[in-house]
Amino acid sequence: MEKQYKWSREEAYERMGTAERGLDPGEVEGSRNAHGANRLPEAKRPSVAVVFLSQFKDFLVWILLVAAGISAAMGKMESTLVIVAVVILNAVLGTVQHVKAEKSIQSLKALSSPNAKVLREGLKQEIPSAEVVVGDLLLLEAGDFVGADGRVVESNSLQVNESALTGESVSVEKSVEALDGGREEVSLGDRVNMAFSGSHVTYGRGMVLVTGVGEKTEIGKIALLLEQAKEKETPLQRNLDAFGKKLAFLILLISGLVFGLSLYRGNPLMDALLFAISLAVAAIPEALSSIVTIVLSLGTRKLAQENAIVRKLHSVESLGSVSVICSDKTGTLTQNKMTVQKLYFDGRMVEAGGLDLARELERKLLLSSILCNDAVSDEGKQIGDPTEIALVHLGDLYGMDELEARKRHVRLAELPFDSDRKLMSTLNQVDDRRVLFTKGALDVMLQRATHVQVRERIRPIGPDDLRAMEEANHSLSDQGLRVLAFACREFPEQGAPALEDEDGLTLLGLVAMMDPPRLESAQAVADCVRAGIKPVMITGDHKVTASAIARQIGILREGDKAVEGAEIEHLTDQELRERVPEISVYARVSPEHKIRIVQAWQDLGHVVAMTGDGVNDAPALKRADIGIAMGIAGTEVAKDAASMVLMDDNFSTIVKAIGNGRSIYGNIKNAVKFLLSGNTAGILTVLAASLAGLPAPFAPVHLLFINLLTDSLPAIAIGLEPAHGHLMEAPPRDAKKPILDRAFGMEVLLEGLVIGAVTLAAYGVGLSTGSHGVAMTMAFATLSLSRLVHGFNCRMDPPLGLRQFFGNAYSLLAVGLGVLLLLGVLQVGFLRRMFEVADLSGGQYLLVAGLSLLPLLVVQAGKRLRNLFGWS
Q: Which of 824, 748, 749, 744 is nearest to 784 (CA)?
A: 824
Would you say 649 and 232 are in contact if contact means Cβ atoms under 8 Å apart? no
Burial letters for 340-376: b for 16+ Cβ neighbours within 10 Å, e otherwise?
A: bbbbbbbeeeeebeebeeeeebbebbbbbbbbbbbbb
Rounded to an integer, what distance in angstroms lies between the CA atom of residue 298 and that of residue 234?
A: 18
Residue type, 200: H
Would you say 283 and 679 are in contact if contact means Cβ atoms under 8 Å apart? yes
Max Cα-Cα span within the chain: 121
Would you say 542 and 167 are in contact if contact means Cβ atoms under 8 Å apart? no
Question: What crossing angle do the helices spanning 386-397 and 360-371 adopt, rounded to 10°?
Answer: 140
What value does the CA radius of gyration of the chain take, rounded to a whole number of Å? 36
Rounded to an integer, what distance in angstroms lies between the CA atom of residue 494 and that of residue 479?
A: 43
Name the 3-class secondary structure at 854.
helix
H/E stretch holding 340 reads strand 339-345
SS (H, E, C) 702-748: HHHHHHHHHCHHHHHHHHCCCCCCCHHHCCCCCCCCCCCCHHHHHHH
Burial letters for 653-692: b for 16+ Cβ neighbours within 10 Å, e otherwise?
A: bbbbbbbbbbbbbbbbbbbbbbbbbbbbbbbbbbbbbbee
Name the 3-class secondary structure at 318.
helix
How many other C-beta atoms lie within 10 A of the C-beta of residue 553? 23
Would you say 427 and 372 are in contact if contact means Cβ atoms under 8 Å apart? no
- With a CB cutoff of 8 Å and minimum separation 6, the contacts of 862 are 750
Helices (H), 479-542: 521-530
Mind giving me the DSSP string for 125-167?
EEEEGGG--TT-EEEEETT-B--SEEEEEEEEEEEEE-HHHH-
Rounded to an integer, what distance in angstroms lies between the CA atom of residue 315 and that of residue 624?
A: 11
Rounded to an integer, what distance in angstroms lies between the CA atom of residue 475 and that of residue 480?
A: 9
Residues with active-site annotation: 328
Alpha-carbon distance values, 377 to 386, 511, 639, 800 (Å): 11, 19, 28, 59
Rounded to an integer, what distance in angstroms lies between the CA atom of residue 679 and that of residue 749?
A: 10
Name the 3-class secondary structure at 482.
strand
105, HSE (Cβ side, Cα atoms, 13 Å): 21
**Helices and strands in the chain, H and E counts:** 34, 26
Rounded to an integer, what distance in angstroms lies between the CA atom of residue 395 and that of residue 389?
A: 10
